[in-house]
Amino acid sequence: MLEVVFREAMAPDVPSIQPLVHHAYRGDRARRGWSHEADLLDAARIDEPALYEAVADPSQTILLAERDGELIGCVQVTDKGEGLAYLGMLTVQADLQDQGLGRRLIAEAETLARTRYAATRMEMTVIVQRGELIEWYQRRGYVLTGETRPFPATDPRFGIPRRNDLAFVVMEKPLV
């Protein structure tokens, strides 16, 4: 098992978070891992201004996973109110995927959602075309709600679609 330290991100961490997330999701480097979006989307997964906004917002927390001082993973938790938290930006360095860090990040995120935001359920969205990833989340206890949401295809902050049929499925898990 990877020796990992978890901590909350702060503004000085943003320049390290952005490339970690980008290289895990997009471009040829992302293809080293199994959970990339490189065949679906081009451009950055998230930009630094959005990350600075997230770390400054008390309703959001970005948890970092570090090994020997190196950032190797992260996950974002957002308080949506009324007992609902949102899990997003789950990232594991591409060449370290399949070593259990994703599961550990989810567990840390769920604990944070319960303790800090008093969440009783966690929600996430996954691109519908990512069947293998949806199945992975189902094995972690997340279920498809039946709801879909449109992909923001005209907003380049979320990436530039390589196809015109992208959409999100909504998944949820009780945290009690």
pLDDT tens per residue, the chain (176 residues)? 779 999 999 999 999 999 999 888 776 776 776 666 768 877 777 899 999 999 999 999 999 999 999 999 999 999 999 999 999 999 999 889 889 999 999 999 999 999 999 999 999 999 999 999 999 999 999 999 999 999 887 777 778 888 889 999 999 999 98
The pTM assigned to this predicted structure is: 0.92
pLDDT at 158: 76
Instruction: Look at residue 74 in the predicted model and tell me its pLDDT.
Output: 98
Q: Torsion angle of alpha carbons 91, 168, 124, 136, nearest 10°?
A: -60
Residue 53: the pLDDT is: 97
- The pLDDT of residue 176 is 82
Q: What are phi and psi of 175, to 5 degrees?
A: -110, 15
pLDDT at 97: 87
Is residue 36 within 8 Å of residue 95, measured between CB atoms? no
In the numeric block, the tokens 């970005």 are attached to 62
**How far, in Å, CA of 3 to CA of 129, rounded?**
33
* pLDDT for position 1: 73
**pLDDT value, residue 167:** 93
